[in-house]
Structure 1
Amino acid sequence: MRDTARTSVEGHQARLLGQAKIRMLFVAAVFMVGYLAVSLRLVDLTLLRDTQETQTTQSAAADKDAPRKPARALRGTITDRNGELMATSLRMASVFADATVVSDAAKLAKQLAQILPEEKEKELFTKLNSKRKFIWIARNIPPRQMQAINMLGEPSLGFQDEARRIYPHGRLTSHILGYTDVDGIGIAGIERAYQKQLAEGEDDLRLSIDLRIQHLLHRELGAAMKTFSAKAAIGLVMDVRSGEIIAMVSLPDFDPYHPAQASDEQKFNRATLGVFEMGSTMKLFPVAAALDAGIASFATTYDAREPIRFGRHTINDYHAKRRVMTLPEVFIHSSNIGTARMAQSLGDGGLRDFYKKLGFLERAPIELPERGTPLAPRPWREINTLTASYGHGIAVSPVHLARAAAALTNGGILIEPTMIYDETRSHEMKGARVIKTETSQRVRDLLELVVAGGTGGKAAAEGYGVGGKTGTADKTLGKGYSKNARLSSFLGVYPIEAPRYAVLAIIDEPQPTKETYGYATGGWTAAPVVGKVIEQMAPLYGIAPQSGPKRDIKAEMARYLKDSKEGKNIATAGTDR
């Protein structure tokens, strides 16, 4: 009986213990569910709700005029030929407002004006009081301003990620790169020309530009503008074998971050869009045409004793020699009369056809959208042959001039100019032959003579063989020409014994100085720019200075020159028209 009673008690205790355990598990489960519920609520309040509210605010603020969009791929990067950054994009925030839920427009406008110094309080108030569901307040703001606006806790404001274009070198490359609008669309320059490729953001763009040479050219042209109180300046450096543009400068330039604040004059790319009557630098081309056609040699003479009278036109020389001159003398003395007679010898349409072959009668084939159309006589009459021979009556761009000069000095091949780098391009010249190889050598001899004993002496670079041609053209004024406004230029090539680069400098409306003895011609204003650029560029490009005896081109050409000293006197007199 005792055993039975004890067994009954133990069973009852076991049942009580089991019930207690079940109750404890139930209570624990209730606490766990409660804890989980609280945790989920906290997550909802701190994370999900914030995100939901932000999306709700942005969705409410965005209407059909500015739909909420996912962040686009960043616009492609642009570099120079050495991989140096020229243009890139950064993610930045833009702030917008739903003016229908702004409670105090005046107060909010004042707060935003303090955070956004570039925005005017009055204009902000007008936006915030417009009752429009979506209105931009500011685009591409820095993180500090975004944080300050966020701290206002204003439910009517929202942010959208956008990209801002960055130009590390600012004005230096403004005419090359151009710029984009606030929506990242290319408006000018390379940005516009390669809009599709850059917008996709998949491939970077590598230009032929060398920023080191761009700096050199920009600095020297800027200094010349200041020295001669000039209106503008233009410069180009081109690889005569590949057609690659190594540097391109057009002054005045502009700030690509604020293109709307720039004048039309500043945004005008004179190097490709501008067309000018180039003056005596154009004399290179009728000379080459005559030599190549076999109707002239260095021994051929031209009567420059009297002006040429053609109807109501009279063609004179700036400092007339009033004598019969050989072809090299016509070139180094820059005789208008002699050059016109040379052009006449090419026959009807001969010079026009040669100019067409060089591309002077159509827009230059370069990637930039800003390309000027040459101005040429139509119909082309005999008087036009005479005046176009010395650069009057026909207007071309600086790119036209550099490209044609490259063809005449690289062995005779006309290469298309390009702004895009291609490492394979420099290994072979691809283009149409415009003159014979031997004619190209004769042209180089004449260019070297101009620097050694003619009007281009100030382009000489110590240790390097330089050839070139000066030019000074009176600018057009109405139906005639101004006597007080001129375009002074120098077109240089180096090393002249085996040309690699053409360097062009143009000074627009330079004023004479005491140091130039009252002259403002190409030999005094533009030639020194070219010489300085070559002296600094050549070592950077591993072009060794000349060693051994220097070629005496004047001695070699002495039999064609009446007085070898005369050329040096011309450089002093500035007779490069």
Structure 2
Amino acid sequence: MIAFIMRLKSRAHFVVAPQQGTHLLGTNARRRKQARQRLAIMIGLFTVAYGILGARLIQYGISEPIQSASIGAGHAVASRPNIIDRNGLLLATDLNMVSLYAEPRRIIDADEVVEKLAMVVPNLDWSETHRKLRSQSAFQWLRRQLTPKQQADILALGLPGIGFRPEKRRIYPGGATASHVVGHVNVDNQGLAGMERYLDSQGLADLRAAGLTNDTRLEPVKLSIDLRVQNIVREVAAKAMVDYKAEAAGAVIIDVETGEVLAMASVPDYDPNEPSRRLADGSIDKEYEKGWFNRISNATFEMGSTFKSFTLAMGLDEGKINLNSVVDASRPIRMGGFTIRDFKGKNRPLSIPEVFQYSSNIGTAAVADMVGIEGHQQFLTRLGLLSKMETEMPGVATPTQPRTWKKINSVTISFGHGVATTPLQTAVAAAALMNGGYLVPPTFLPRSKEEAQALATRVIKDKTSADMRTLYDWNGIKGSGRHAQVEGFHVGGKTGTADKVINGRYARDINFNAFVAAFPMDKPRYVVLSIIDAPRTGENGGRTAASTAAPMIKAIIRRVAPLLGVQPRFGDPGADMQLVDY
């Protein structure tokens, strides 16, 4: 009965409205009206929603794109200027790269992401990557500086929460050739060593922090280095280290008038494109990182008999001796419990050229004694051998000397024991002996003769410099310098063989050898200094500087002199030469 009544009610075309009395409204008409109202509301809602979406799309379309560099606070995509050699050859430049990052909060399946990334990214650390993806943090680096192919392969994987950020990668086309001069940067393009670090100290780091280097094309930085000469110097040093079974070797070439460093190499070295290496077990290769150590400017050594150059120059400059003077070297000197002997003594009085030629410790000590302790210390200070050298190269070592100079200190320092200085400082001081007596600060940037003259300081008389050129020339012809002589290029110089200091004691069977040379001796233009650390053998089986460091100088000058514009001259440089047509 109830069902029957309800069916009749649904078929009725009117209802009774008690409050309106006679007004009747059909049920179906009321439903149609409600449907139209609901449809209008839905259309309105959809219109508003699509309007908002459209407005946002228009906003995104007309606004500047958001740079991915904004991801990760405090990190800018920094450009660095190219570094070029004195001839415009490229030493360092930037390449555009991308780095892979993740937004762990958006990662759905960390295991899947790690598994897929491992197929593209070599040597991916699964456990570390998985830990980062499960961290629920906003940002995590996964791998820096990917190749374009790796980026394309990862994009093809379609992984949510994975993105890329544009970065710069520093590239060194010459590899290890000038690694200690140019230096290297870290993964954030910040200079860590060499001239790269110098550039940051000159304001580049501040520009980067201010965000002014992102897209700015900076002017190239030109160095004084000649890449052709640098390559030869490094090759010779590397070959000598192997041939003479030494711990290390190196060399430097300086323009005596401008102080420009044309080449500086120290081996073992490293590739700045890969400043660190990892072993098979994932640990850092500490042996490889030893190549960071630059023995030419970042280390001090007792330079041995090369210091006799400065002792004799001191005696000449103070007027205590001249080239005709004779000193007694007939017997050893006993002082303070020590006995000072000559390596191959002549056991007779020696002229000053003979003291230099035979490298007499006794004769050199006698000259130092004539000048006195205070004068000796002041002279070496004036030549810059006892204080830290000022140049662009960061990390320059500070020389060491006795706290209090006594007579025994002055005597041993006269022939290169008791004071440790850098090989670069030794070369700079030797340049002052050759260029007329002016100490010119060394530089790794181009410098004109006029600029050098403004910075130069006179440290010895012009006459003293002329006498030292005579002594270098004499030794190059008659003394140990014969082993460095290059036919046609008139080389002079002085060897230095020092017992190496190990754990505070001199090792009798381990040497640190050096040779300081100048050429051409009729008017020196360049000073070349070579070092070789702990050689086990040398030319003809010898271990002294004449058998190791001097042949290095010969090999260097023979190859670089023509590149530096030095014309070979054969025969007597002072004689008139005529061309004869046969």
Superposition TM-score, scaled by structure 1 size: 0.83
CA deviation after TM superposition for structure 1 residue 547, in Å: 4.8
CA deviation after TM superposition for structure 1 residue 548, in Å: 5.3
Deviations 1:259-294 (A, max 9, x none): 233635211111111000010011000100111111
Number of residue-to-residue matches in the alignment: 504
**1:6 matched to which residue of 2?**
none
Aligned to 1:421, which of 430, 446, 450? 446
**356-365 vs 427-436, which moves further:** 427-436
The 3-state SS of whatever aligns with 1:187 is: coil
Question: Does the aligned pair in 2 maintain the 1:413–1:430 contact within 8 Å?
Answer: no
Cα distance, 1:113–1:425 mapped onto 2, change above 3 Å: farther
Matched, 1:228 2:244: yes
Deviations 1:312-344 (A, max 9, x none): 111111112111111111111001111011100
Tell which structure's C-alpha radius of gyration is larger.
Answer: 2
- Measure the CA separation in 2 of the matches of 1:396 and 1:58: 49
Deviations 1:387-446 (A, max 9, x none): 000000000001110000000000000000000113465784741111111111110111
Q: Gaps spanning 5+ residues in structure 1: where?
A: 1-36, 553-577
**1:497 matched to which residue of 2?**
522
Matched, 1:443 2:460: no
Aligned to 1:390, which of 412, 415, 421? 415
**1:476 matched to which residue of 2?**
501
RMSD, aligned CA: 2.7
CA deviation after TM superposition for structure 1 residue 55, in Å: 8.1
Query: Which residue identity lines up with residue 192 of structure 1 in the other structure?
Result: R
**1:84 matched to which residue of 2?**
89
**296-305 vs 267-276, which moves further:** 296-305
Matched, 1:168 2:173: yes
CA deviation after TM superposition for structure 1 residue 49, in Å: 11
Question: Does the aligned pair in 2 maintain the 1:241–1:426 contact within 8 Å?
Answer: no
Matched, 1:373 2:398: yes
- Measure the CA separation in 1 of the matches of 2:74 and 2:515: 55
**2:5 matched to which residue of 1?**
none
Aligned to 2:191, which of 170, 186, 192? 186
- Measure the CA separation in 2 of the matches of 1:144 and 1:478: 52
- Measure the CA separation in 2 of the matches of 1:104 and 1:248: 54
- Measure the CA separation in 1 of the matches of 2:66 and 2:439: 62
Question: Does the aligned pair in 2 maintain the 1:290–1:346 contact within 8 Å?
Answer: yes
- Measure the CA separation in 2 of the matches of 1:344 and 1:434: 20
Query: Which residue identity lines up with residue 147 of structure 2 in the other structure?
Result: P
Question: Within 5 A, what are the aligned runs for 1:445-460?
Answer: 445-460=470-485
- Measure the CA separation in 2 of the matches of 1:539 and 1:109: 58
Identity of aligned residues (%): 40
- Measure the CA separation in 2 of the matches of 1:343 and 1:208: 37
CA deviation after TM superposition for structure 1 residue 378, in Å: 1.0
Question: Does the aligned pair in 2 maintain the 1:57–1:156 contact within 8 Å?
Answer: no
Superposition TM-score, scaled by structure 2 size: 0.82
Question: Does the aligned pair in 2 maintain the 1:332–1:449 contact within 8 Å?
Answer: yes
**1:242 matched to which residue of 2?**
258
**2:26 matched to which residue of 1?**
none
**1:316 matched to which residue of 2?**
341
Aligned to 2:225, which of 209, 213, 219? 209
- Measure the CA separation in 1 of the matches of 2:74 and 2:432: 54
Matched, 1:138 2:118: no
CA deviation after TM superposition for structure 1 residue 231, in Å: 0.2
**1:306 matched to which residue of 2?**
331
Question: Does the aligned pair in 2 maintain the 1:450–1:457 contact within 8 Å?
Answer: yes
Cα distance, 1:44–1:188 mapped onto 2, change above 3 Å: farther
- Measure the CA separation in 2 of the matches of 1:90 and 1:56: 22
Cα distance, 1:72–1:133 mapped onto 2, change above 3 Å: closer
- Measure the CA separation in 1 of the matches of 2:565 and 2:499: 39
Deviations 1:357-388 (A, max 9, x none): 00111111111111100011111111111000
Query: Which residue identity lines up with residue 219 of structure 1 in the other structure?
Result: E
CA deviation after TM superposition for structure 1 residue 141, in Å: 1.0
Deviations 1:228-258 (A, max 9, x none): 0010012100001000000000111012133
- Measure the CA separation in 2 of the matches of 1:235 and 1:522: 13
Cα distance, 1:491–1:134 mapped onto 2, change above 3 Å: same
**1:337 matched to which residue of 2?**
362
